[in-house]
Chain A
C-alpha cells in the first residue's frame, strides 16, 4: 500500500510570495489534515477536510487556505509568505474524521528567505 504522499519535498521561497503544497492520502482515506511543524516544536493543526468540506480549522491567519478534490487529494495554499512560515508542513490522512488514527506523509520543508 502506498502511504500518504506529499509534493514537493523541499521548497525555497522569498517573503511575499505564494506557495501551494500538495497531498495525496492513503487509498481509501477520505479525510486529510494539514499541520505545521516549526523546528523544536510539535506539529500544529491547520485544517481538516473530509469529503471536500472543511471540518476543522486551527489558529492560523487567513493567508492559509486549503481545499480537497473529488479524488480526496488536497492542496494547502499560503499567501504573502513571512519568514515565520518556514517550517515542515505535514499532511495526514484518515479513513473518516472521528475516532480514526491519522497517518502522516513525509512532509514538505518550506524555507522562506
Chain B
C-alpha cells in the first residue's frame, strides 16, 4: 500500500463548479499535512496546511480526519487558473529531520 494515496484524475469541471479531492495516508504517526499545487513542468508550491479543525483560504477549504487518516481539499467557484495537479503531502519527523511524502497528485482541468 502506498504511504499517500490520491485519485489521479483527471477531474474535468466547468468554471464555477465545486470540486473535492481526497487523500488517505498509511502512517498514523504522521505529524503534519499539506496540499501543494504543481503546474505543468513547474515546481510544487504550497497551497495550504491542513489541520484537524479544518482551515479555509478564500475558495479553498482543507480538512484532516486523523482517526480515518483522511485529508480533503475543497475548491469552490473553480477558475480556469485553478487547472493544475494537486499534491497531497504528509510530513513525518524522524532522526531530527523532516520527510515529506507526496501522493501521485490529482489533475484538475477547469474548462469554459
A residues apposed to B, CB below 8 Å: 31, 33, 35, 40-45, 48, 50, 55-56, 58, 90, 92, 94, 97-107
Contacts and interface: CB of A to CB of B under 8 A. Distances in A.
Main SS class of interface, B: strand
Given A90-B44, A103-B46, A98 B96 contact: yes
A50 B96 contact: yes
A55 B97 contact: yes
Nearest to B103: A42
A56 B102 contact: no
Interface string B40-57: 001111100100000000
Q: Top 4 closest A-B pairs, CB basis?
A: A55-B97, A42-B102, A56-B97, A104-B43
Contacts of A90: 43-44
Interface residues of B, number: 24
B87 interface: yes
**In the complex, which of the residues A33, A45, A100 has the most CB atoms of chain B within 10 Å of its own CB atom?**
A45
Given A55-B98, A100-B98, 6 more contacts: A43-B100, A56-B95, A56-B97, A56-B98, A98-B96, A103-B46
B44 A43 contact: yes
Interface string B94-112: 1111111111110000000
A106 B98 contact: no
B46 A94 contact: no
A105 B104 contact: no
Contacts of A98: 93, 96-98
Interface in B67-112: 87, 93-105
A97 B102 contact: no
B61 interface: no
7 contacts: A42-B105, A43-B44, A43-B87, A48-B97, A56-B98, A102-B100, A105-B43
B22 interface: no
